[in-house]
Structure 1
Amino acid sequence: MFLAWNEIQKNKLRFVLIIGVLMLVAYLVFFLSGLANGLASLNREAVDKWEASAVVLTEESDKSLVASSLTIDEAEAVEADETAVLGQINAIARNDDQKANVSIFGIREDEFIMPEVTEGKAFSGENEVIASDTLKEDGFALGDVVELSSTEEKLEIVGFTEDARFNAAPVLYGDLATFQRVKFGEAAEANEDQINGLVLRTDDVSAATDKDELEAIEVETFIENLPGYTAQSLTLNFMIYFLFVISSVIVAIFLYVLTVQKISMFGVMKAQGVPSGYLARSVIAQTFILALIGVAVGLALTLITGLFLPAAVPVAFDIPTMLIYGAVLVVVAIAGAVFSVLTIVKIDPLKAIGG
């Protein structure tokens, strides 16, 4: 450790360059992890708030809530500890100045998926809705009467709730009658028993229903089948994993070049009796110090950047995940130093000093 730190102090510029490269790679890894978490939250916030075990949909819906259609009678035949009916439709909501894509949920006020109101009040009358608080950033406010692209019905925002986005769209929660008027229009009375799915809390998902036309889907599977969710997550995670490889290669190249430049010095040290193991440990220790500093600076810069990002940027930093990624970056950097260690072990003292 003494030899490693002493060399870093005497050759600050070259090692600052290595730290800078590692810092930039770490910064990109941390930011991408935050972006991956943020985009995932856009899709699943409302579902996570249910704290549910499964969702029951029709078999032919291909695990898509909007494509599923069943009756309340069918839903009531499902066995679970707790159940909550759910209707869902996508629309574009407009007030006087703004518009936004929204997902409208039809629910029952006395069931467990009813959201907690953080501002205003719960829906109680005709066409009243509780809205995701992200709509406030789009210019919507309490008391707004919003028009919808798919119907002539108008909805009044009477309350706001936190963390309520589904498939990247803010959610409007209303009662089942409101949902059915929005979805079916004049035919709402004829379809008053139609819903899209049933949300369950149960210990045994497989025993929830035995009807061939219905399928009980675990919540994580339901989320993974949301449009674009899996592809988006895999793409960002692949980029992060590829950056781990890049980090290892960069460190390997830098340290190998430095080792080649110091072959004669290592040769003299070995001729004086300094064992290869000591020199190898010195290189590993040096790499650990450089990687630790680079990762720490990258983490700090990422968190500082997060403080200044606008709300429109979907970034959510998960500190435990970032610490794991930081540890992985340090490990792959040390792995990249293996080539330098092998070079040191193979140095012939006589040849190195020109003997």
Structure 2
Amino acid sequence: MNLAWKEMKKSKTKFVILGSIVFLISLLTFIISGLANGLSQDNAALIKNLPDGTIYMETAAEETHALSAIDMETQQSALSENDGAFAFSIQMGFLLNEQDEQQSVAFATSTDSAQFPDVKKGEIILDRSLEEDGLKQGDIFTNSQLDGEFTVAGFTDGAKYSHAPVAFIHPDDFAEMYRTDELQMLFLPEMAQPGAIPGLQSFSTEEFLNTLPSYSAEQLSLSMIVWFLVVISGMLFAIFFYMMNIQKLGLYGILKAIGVKTGTLFRMIWTQMVVITAMALLLSIAVSQVFETLAPDDMPFYLPIDATLQLTAVFFVIGFAGATLSGLQIRKAKPLQAIQQGEG
């Protein structure tokens, strides 16, 4: 520990440069992770907010929920046998206001459920993002597929699907608009101990999200960027400490000759890595949280504490691995050889 601090004080510039680079890489990683999580919420908050459970779709739909239709007999049987189960449907569509201005929404409906708002026939409950856009309770909307009108009965939080605000409507209105009484999906909560249902394919929440083309493509691209930056940070640590160790082989040889153990030298490198990483990450976390506060409302940025802690742990693991690999030449070097190499 003492050796580590003395070297860091002596070579401040080198360690400040390394810390600055780690700070910039980790900050970029946190911001991209926040954007990935924000886009995930904006794309599928309606599904992500469901409790643990199993989602069923018609097998013949081939993992396309818009083509799924669960017959009434199967639906009634599943709902009656499983407490907390419900059937629901989601379809993209639009609303027209009194000025014939169009608002894209994702229409959603369900059987009785604590997870979906209770909506009366002729009423509609919208995601709160539309309230921020100027819509208010009591506004009237129409749809070309519906004979009647929708009256805004209220707003709810966290209801987004396919980057569109969700509009919750009554099952009868949904049936009139889409000419079917059959709902698309079944949800059975985890406590219901769901099993196989003939003619239906089961999905966990994450598996269901991956059936959505826009969701899987977005998350895969952003996740690749995040992990690419994490790998770069590990390589950075390895290269930095490797170059420093090569320059100090003579010093290491002297230290080993006077009785300093190899483990002590490794602990010195690990201490330096921990100090640099901790300072850089604390600063990047603080800046990313400020960024989340100052980001425009229409920017889908969401960086929860669990994602921050996971990335922080990954950076420490990668940094430890990089620093350890860079120090392997210390273990192999003999004191006399190291001294000669340093002198040469």
Instruction: Give the root-mean-square deviation of aligned CA atoms.
Output: 2.7
Superposed, which structure 2 residues align to 1:3-42 within 5 Å? 3-42=3-42
Correspondence 1:133 to 2:135:
no
Deviations 1:46-98 (A, max 9, x none): 22444362333322112332211244344213342233232332113344496
In structure 2, the gaps of 5 or more residues are none
Asked whether the equivalents of residues 235 and 322 of structure 2 are also in contact (C-alpha less than 8 Å), the reply is yes
Aligned equivalents of 1:52, 1:288: Cα separation in 2: 37
How much has 1:244 moved relative to structure 2? 2.1
In the alignment, residue 116 of structure 2 is paired with which amino acid? M
Equivalent residue in structure 1 for 2:251, among 240, 247, 265: 265
Look up the SS of the partner of 1:140 in the other structure: coil
- Identify the residue that residue 186 of structure 2 maps to in structure 1: 198
Aligned length: 337
2:273 equivalent in structure 1: 287
Give the Cα–Cα distance (whole angstroms) in 2 for the partners of residues 153 and 14 of structure 1.
Answer: 71
Distance 1:156 1:261, change over 3 A: same
Structure 2 residue aligned with 1:299, among 280, 285, 291? 285
Identity %: 28
Partner in structure 2 of residue 83 of structure 1: 85
Q: Which amino acid aligns with 1:15?
A: F
> How big is the shift at 1:2?
0.9
Preserved CA contact (<8 Å) 1:55 1:218: yes
- 3-state DSSP of counterpart to 1:103: strand
Structure 1 length-normalised TM: 0.84
* Alignment of 1:105 onto 2:105: no
Q: 1:249 and 1:49, CA in 2 relative to 1: closer, same or farther beyond 3 A?
A: closer
> Match of 1:225?
211
- Residue aligning to 1:163: 158
CA shift, 1:229, in A, is: 2.2
Q: Distance in 2 between matches of 1:282 and 1:215?
A: 55
Question: Amino acid of the residue matched to residue 18 of structure 1?
Answer: L
Amino acid at match of 1:169: A
Kept after mapping to 2: 8 A contact 1:268/1:353: no
Cα distance in 2 for residues equivalent to 1:180 and 1:325: 45
Counterparts in 2 of 1:43 and 1:149: CA distance versus 1, 3 Å: farther
Q: Which amino acid aligns with 1:354?
A: E
Give the counterpart letter for 2:104 in structure 1. Answer: N
Query: Which residue matches 2:94?
Result: 92
Q: Any gaps of 5 or more consecutive residues in structure 1?
A: 116-121, 185-190
The whole-number CA distance in structure 2 between the counterparts of 1:97 and 1:258 is 69
Q: Measure, in 1, the Cα distance between the counterparts of 2:8 and 2:143.
A: 64
Shift of 1:271: 4.4
* 1:277 equivalenced with 2:267 (yes/no): no
The change in CA–CA distance for 1:266 and 1:217 in structure 2 (over 3 A counts) is closer
